[in-house]
Structure 1
Amino acid sequence: MADVLTPGGADEPKELVPLKPLGKVMAITSGKGGVGKTFVSANLAAALAKRGHRVLVLDADLGLANLDVVLNLYPKITLHDVFTGKAKIEEAIIKAPGGFSVLLAGSGMVEYSRLTTEVRDDFLRIMSGLVPHYDIVLLDTGAGISDVVLFAVSLASEVIVVATPEPTSLTDAYATIKVLVGQQKRSTIRMVVNQAARMGDGRAITTQLQQVLDRFVSTDPAKPIRLIHMGDIPADQSVRQAIMRRQLMMQSTPGCPAAMAIAQLAMRFEETVMVRKPAN
């Protein structure tokens, strides 16, 4: 788990305090918008909850939040109210369809579109209070490499980059991975390819990106960058239908190809990333 900074006094140095969750904190991010990042976050959360895990999704896209739209929720209290001290964290957490919890951000919060000291400190305070109470916390970040997005990603022990097979998406995914390696010194990043046209497309894409990273980014042979293909989500008409109806696909059409792929992604995530629960 990445260390985080807790604020001291005006003249005091920041103190490194490791977050020690019961499970993992996973950032789900992307190089560009429109690739299905929030769709993946919500449905992966539902799949993990179905497998018996306590899951929270935090909408970390502080400026253009839309997790509430995907889940058809109308929150009375948002992350903005917690940041400003108008509400407590537990008052802002609500149950989503699919059996997981969410902490929603308000859309259009211009004051949170850049990383100020106040935004950083508020975010750290909230994360420190949330993490111990869940098996897995998914951070649905904004797209791109703004300072707010990169800060949210820095709090995660694992990162999933969601991309589609389109050249613009892959170019932006590569740029994002390059920044995460350079600024956050990450050596392992996980890939999910959404809207895959054929089985195996995602693995081929991941292999191609790995080759580019090996050639242009990996400078230390002793510390190679590993790009791990976690799975593909096939192009599926059920996805668009679920989004238009503001329904979780894992609930509305659990037997469709895309939903089955998400279920497999949750299983692989559980087996390779999550902390094992001790046996009774």
Structure 2
Amino acid sequence: MAEFRGDQAAGLRRLFATRQVRIVTFVAGRVGVGKSMSVANLAAALARQGREVLVVDENTDDSIAAFYGASAVHDLQQVVDREKSSSEVIVSVAPGIRVLPAARIVQQLARLNAAQQRSLVECITEIGRPADVVLVDASPDHPLGFSPLGLAAHETVVVVSPNGAAITDAYALIKKVSLGYSRKHFRILVNRARLASEAQAIHDNIARVTSSRGLARLEYAGYVPFDEQLRQASRLCQPVDGLFPDSPAAQAFHAMANDLLNWPPVDDDRGGLEHFVEQLLHLSQHIDPVAIYA
């Protein structure tokens, strides 16, 4: 196993040694808050700024590829099983944006043997163009309660909508992950807010409770305003900045993209996909479902 870890680290280091990749996981306490829509539009905003974006999609329904009107028929699991190549699985949905479907593999991470782990690493190293930003659209239905991708990423953004149930569920998710895995930093993105002050108040209230109970430190990732043009663009399988670049939602995603690119850089020993894959494989073997549901 030590030799395998050395091989995987060396391969990833050769590919990504010159790049600092920003890896951000988006999670939600419940479905229906607009998480996947936010990821898809943020990817478009980042690509418009000249960044290469890789979206790792854990979802079987409402996939990121489908958001762009594309079809993702394969999964990373098939690469691990040597049934498909990485080029057959990755879907180019728009200039600068690629989607890596991972709904099946994420359910099996804890059960991968050494050969399958090697295949997973090889898939990452075979990705043609290195990414500047990796956005992980995490499924809320992970069998262990929280995706290992969210634990391995540099940043975790919790998407919440302005209603009581969504806010309660977002806080419950933060509490579970903080107590179960000592994750002490999250960012809050408020979707469909009517006013900037409403979104800020939602963040402030959750942050105050989590801080007073010693759970985590929360930072504000911004908000996406309620915008009928965003809904119209989504129905047409297009990012909002492509159809309505001057809309409030498009401007919000551009501001969010700028902020994301200027978040404080990760430590040198935590940067890049090398660390991400190493952490992912390690965490997937050690996640305790009892802790996450405590």
Q: TM-score range by the shorter chain?
A: 0.7 to 0.9
Q: Counterpart in 1 of 2:277?
A: none
Pick closer, same or farther for the CA change 1:13–1:94 going to 2, 3 Å.
closer
Q: Percent identity?
A: 27
Q: Of residues 184, 188, 191 in structure 2, which corresponds to 1:187?
A: 184
Q: Of residues 235, 257, 267 in structure 1, which corresponds to 2:226?
A: 235
| In the alignment, structure 1 residue 86 sits paired with structure 2 residue 83 | yes
| In the alignment, structure 1 residue 125 sits paired with structure 2 residue 121 | yes
Of residues 78-87 and 21-30 in structure 1, the stretch that sits farther from structure 2 once superposed is 78-87
Q: 1:210·1:226 contact (CA, 8 Å) conserved in 2?
A: yes
Query: What TM-score do the two structures reach when normalised by structure 2?
Result: 0.76
Q: Which consecutive unaligned segments of at least 5 residues does structure 1 have? A: 1-7, 219-224, 276-280
What secondary structure sits across from 2:156 in the alignment? strand
Q: 2:106·2:147 contact (CA, 8 Å) conserved in 1?
A: no
Equivalent positions of 1:14-93 (< 5 A) are 22-61=20-59, 63-64=60-61, 66-93=63-90
Pick closer, same or farther for the CA change 1:180–1:112 going to 2, 3 Å.
closer
Q: 1:64·1:142 contact (CA, 8 Å) conserved in 2?
A: no
| In the alignment, structure 1 residue 253 sits paired with structure 2 residue 244 | yes
Pick closer, same or farther for the CA change 1:229–1:105 going to 2, 3 Å.
same
Q: Counterpart in 2 of 1:199?
A: 196
Pick closer, same or farther for the CA change 1:58–1:86 going to 2, 3 Å.
same
Q: Counterpart in 2 of 1:172?
A: 169
Q: Of residues 258, 261, 271 in structure 2, which corresponds to 1:270?
A: 261
Pick closer, same or farther for the CA change 1:126–1:42 going to 2, 3 Å.
farther
Distance in 2 between the 1:261 and 1:83 partners? 38
Q: 1:191·1:229 contact (CA, 8 Å) conserved in 2?
A: yes
Q: 1:93·1:101 contact (CA, 8 Å) conserved in 2?
A: yes
> How many Å apart are 1:132 and its aligned residue?
8.9
The C-alpha deviation readout for 1:208-253, integer Å capped at 9, x for no partner, is 00111122344xxxxxx32100111000111221222222212121
Paired residue type of 2:112: E
Q: 1:191·1:230 contact (CA, 8 Å) conserved in 2?
A: yes
> How many Å apart are 1:172 and its aligned residue?
0.9
Query: What TM-score do the two structures reach when normalised by structure 1?
Result: 0.79
Pick closer, same or farther for the CA change 1:157–1:132 going to 2, 3 Å.
farther
Of residues 64-73 and 34-43 in structure 1, the stretch that sits farther from structure 2 once superposed is 64-73
Q: Counterpart in 2 of 1:137?
A: 134
User: Which of the two has greater strand per residue?
Assistant: 1
Q: 1:115·1:148 contact (CA, 8 Å) conserved in 2?
A: no
Distance in 2 between the 1:145 and 1:179 partners? 14
> How many Å apart are 1:14 and its aligned residue?
8.2
Distance in 2 between the 1:13 and 1:84 partners? 18
Q: 1:178·1:217 contact (CA, 8 Å) conserved in 2?
A: no
Q: Counterpart in 2 of 1:278?
A: none
Q: 1:32·1:144 contact (CA, 8 Å) conserved in 2?
A: no
| In the alignment, structure 1 residue 214 sits paired with structure 2 residue 211 | yes
Pick closer, same or farther for the CA change 1:78–1:65 going to 2, 3 Å.
farther
Equivalent residues, number = 256
Distance in 2 between the 1:35 and 1:28 partners? 12
Of residues 96-105 and 24-33 in structure 1, the stretch that sits farther from structure 2 once superposed is 96-105
> How many Å apart are 1:75 and its aligned residue?
3.2
> How many Å apart are 1:17 and its aligned residue?
6.1
Pick closer, same or farther for the CA change 1:207–1:148 going to 2, 3 Å.
closer
> How many Å apart are 1:118 and its aligned residue?
2.6
> How many Å apart are 1:274 and its aligned residue?
5.5
Distance in 2 between the 1:208 and 1:131 partners? 43
